[in-house]
Amino acid sequence: MSLQTRVIALNESPQLAQLIALGQQSDPYFAYETPEQDFCLFGFSSCQTWWPIAFGNEVGRLQDWTTKLKQQFQTDITGYDRGLGPQLLGGLPFAATAKQQSRWGIFRHGYFFLPRFLITKRDKKWWLTVTAPLAEDLAKLAEDFLHRLQTIEPLVTAENQVLNETALYAEQWQQGVRDTVARIQRSDLDKVVLARPLVIEMAQSIQAAGLWQQLRQRQPATYHICLQAQGQAFVSATPERLLKFEPNQFATAAVAGTVRRGKNAAEDEQLGQALLADPKNRGEQAFVVATISQNLEQLGLQVSHPAQPQLLRNPNVQHLFTPITARGLDKVTPLTVLAALHPTPALGGVPRRAALAQIAHVEPEARGLFGAPIGYLGLNELGEFAVGIRSVLLQGQQATLFAGAGIVAASQAENEFKETALKFEPIRECLKKRLDSED
């Protein structure tokens, strides 16, 4: 099938409420916003989709699909800025595994789609990208889409009620932490990130686009991501970027260590400084920085980063944060870099292979999109992926929340359980509260 695309500058800025309402009705649908809220994109409907029915070599198969897509275009797709033109929207799985995947449905081995309609905000301007088979009229498609967007009624979200809340595998997970600590103490394993799920049953079906909007209001300094397809959705308010691709260079970051925010400015500063001085958390952060740098240098890239971490503050928690940049992207493809970095020590552990084996041994379920790369990649190889943490899988009335903790030799199971509980809070709060009106 031959494809064509057109990018149109919009004279009027779309209303966020209308984008969200249209997103709730669309299948598939994707929303992505940066922490600064100066860049966002919204993808509606699909020209083509990619979702493997079996596990293994997901990055390689995604690269093959991308190559075939490029060959279908009869118009130039290389000259667009990041986020404009045809984009692949979606996420890869945390790991290739034959473990129980029933919870993840169509997302179990990764899911991407090429949207028919893409709304992008960048540089304070709004754009519409329309992509369709060669036989279709792009101007008419754009006109009809914009009319629908402008006339749709805003999303109305009624009060919802929590019926039940279950911390799955709670005792098993804490015992897994103890077993992992013991293994770290007697082997060359340095760190393992263990995750656990929390299932919340609601009285009514949960609207993914509405939850995305609530997280945007209550967690402004994070990425805000929603991937919706075939009756389920993955929503994330993650503080962590995996990769941002620009011409011939890219940026990533090391994020590790967690402490709550203070009740006032003085306590907040005290907690932040204690985090910066804590040997356990500084050691964890050093693992992440060193491993990311080493993996990038092995690809022949020039890597740079500050010597000391800084604080990354979110409404509920604060983290250690080190920005990392690299040059030489002309030597490798974006997906090659992604495969080299994922999972980072902040989501997997150190050494990577041994840590992933321990995760597979301890965790009863596959992680699916949790902790995995999720974002957008243009067919011109510019784009960005975040890490799908602080996230929830929505299926009807059920919400499955995910959170992880970095386990090292000094870790205590009870403390790590409390840390993961703290990370659940932003989404738990949103599930229990009515959607506020957008300013």
In a domain? residue 104: yes
Question: Quick one: tokens of 132?
Answer: 């369709």
Q: State how far the Cα of 365 lies from the Cα of 367, in Å rounded to an integer.
A: 6
**Claim to verify: residue 303 and residue 401 sit in the same structural domain:** yes
Query: Is the Cβ–Cβ distance between 129 and 117 less than 8 Å?
Result: yes
What does R_g of the chain's alpha carbons equal in angstroms? 21
Which pLDDT value is given to residue 439? 36
Q: What is the DSSP letter of 73?
A: B
Taking residue 44's Cβ as centre, other Cβ atoms within 10 Å add up to 22
Same-domain check for residues 219 and 99:
no
Residue 168's SS3 state is: coil
* Site of tokens 């890869």: 92
Distance CA 6, CA 131 (A): 7
Please check whether residue 421 is in contact with residue 285, taking contact to mean a CB–CB distance below 8 angstroms.
no
Amino acid (1-letter code) at residue 177: V
In a domain, residue 268? The reply is yes
Same domain, 130 and 194: no
Q: Quick one: pLDDT at residue 101? A: 58
Residues 214 and 282 in one domain: yes
- The domain boundary, picked from 151, 179, 204, lies at 151
Place of tokens 């600590």: 181
Domain boundary among 105, 128, 151: 151
Q: How many CB atoms lie within 10 A of CB 137?
A: 11
Token pair, residue 386, equals: 């975040």
Report yes or no on 54 lying in a domain: yes
Number of domains making up the chain: 2
User: What is the C-alpha separation between 341 and 334, in angstroms, rounded?
Assistant: 11
The answer to whether residues 177 and 196 belong to one domain is yes
Domain boundary among 103, 127, 151: 151
Alpha-carbon distance of 241 to 319, in angstroms, equals 13
Q: Do the beta carbons of residue 146 and residue 380 sit within 8 Å?
A: no
First to last CA, the chain: 43
- The Cα–Cα gap between 143 and 158 comes to 32
Do residues 240 and 346 touch, judged by C-beta distance below 8 A?
Answer: yes
34 part of a folded domain: yes
Could you tell me if 358 and 418 are in contact, meaning their C-beta atoms sit under 8 angstroms apart?
Answer: no
- Do both 104 and 180 map to the same domain? no
Among candidate residues 74, 65, 68, 66, the one with its CA nearest the CA of residue 5 = 74
Say whether both 211 and 170 belong to one domain: yes
pTM strictly above 0.85: yes
Degrees, nearest 5: CA angle 106-33-304: 100
Report the alpha-carbon distance of residue 214 to residue 377 in Å, rounded.
26
Q: Name the 3-class secondary structure at 399.
A: strand
Separation between Cα atoms, residue 433 and residue 326, nearest integer Å: 42
Contact 419/412 with Cβ under 8 angstroms? no
Domain containing 104: what range?
3-151
For residues 59 and 169, state if they share a domain: no
Count the residues in the chain.
439
Q: Over its length of 439 residues, how does the chain's per-residue pLDDT go in tens digits? A: 899 999 999 999 999 999 999 999 999 999 999 998 999 999 999 999 999 876 767 888 999 999 999 999 987 888 899 999 999 999 999 987 656 657 899 998 899 999 999 999 998 999 999 999 999 999 999 999 999 999 999 888 777 888 999 999 999 999 999 999 999 999 989 899 999 999 999 999 999 999 999 999 988 889 999 999 999 999 999 988 899 998 888 899 888 788 889 999 999 999 999 999 998 889 878 878 888 898 899 998 999 999 999 998 877 788 899 999 999 877 788 999 999 989 988 889 888 899 999 999 999 889 999 999 999 999 999 999 999 999 999 999 999 999 999 998 999 999 999 999 999 998 998 998 744 333 3
- Report if residue 436 sits inside a domain: no
The pair of structure tokens assigned to 348 is 């997997």
> Same domain, yes or no, for 140 and 169?
no
State whether 219 and 262 are in the same domain: yes
Assigned domain for 8 exists: yes
Q: How many CB atoms lie within 10 A of CB 300?
A: 10
Residues 344 and 252 in one domain: yes
**Do 33 and 98 have their domain in common?**
yes
| 116 located within any domain | yes
Q: Tell whether 385 is covered by a domain.
A: no
- Here the CATH number for the domain that contains residue 354 is 3.60.120.10
